[in-house]
Amino acid sequence: MNPREAQQILDEADLLCSAEESALAVRRVAGEITTRLAAANPLVLAVMGGAVVFAGQLLPQLIFPLDFDYLHVSRYGDVTSGGQLTWIVEPRSAVAGRVVLVVDDILDEGVTLAEVVRRLLAQGASEVLSAVFADKDIGRAKPIAADFVGLRLPNRYVFGYGMDVRGAWRNLPAVYAVKGL
């Protein structure tokens, strides 16, 4: 997508959650995580690339000892509907015996997060919790529920705050929905 097309998508989009609302949601989630994990010395794993914004805003608000690493999986690539899960980068940190917090941008259908949690438990994690910036209401049951949720969003094609539209606009501090989708 060229810059003109990306700008047109943003200009026509519906604002769902302002930058201020997004920041408040992250602050609330940080408090919930702190209450639950402050004494656990967790391994925090960000799911790249969508979680980079959420993780970058969340981590400075977790004022307790933790280890940080990342993993990279994808079901989407450059398409808008999910396909086969591909593991691009495994965590370098050992998860065996650890409390692990998986941080991701959005819980959409839940297939990716469910597989990540399953795999970490199979690798010996003592507990795996998940934090998502957004949980999309898709109107049906999901194979997993996030333990910590920043925002609840309608079943629309959303972007901003780590979520992209055809590769663009992950960097926005607010959440938008593509017009008509």
Which regions of 7-162 does DSSP assign to beta strands (E)? 14-17, 43-48, 67-74, 86-89, 99-107, 127-136, 148-153, 158-159
Place of tokens 């593991």: 87
Catalytic residue among 108, 135, 147, 164: 108
Q: Note if 147 is an active site residue.
A: no
Which regions of 4-92 does DSSP assign to beta strands (E)? 14-17, 43-48, 67-74, 86-89
Task: Catalogue the active-site residues.
Answer: 108
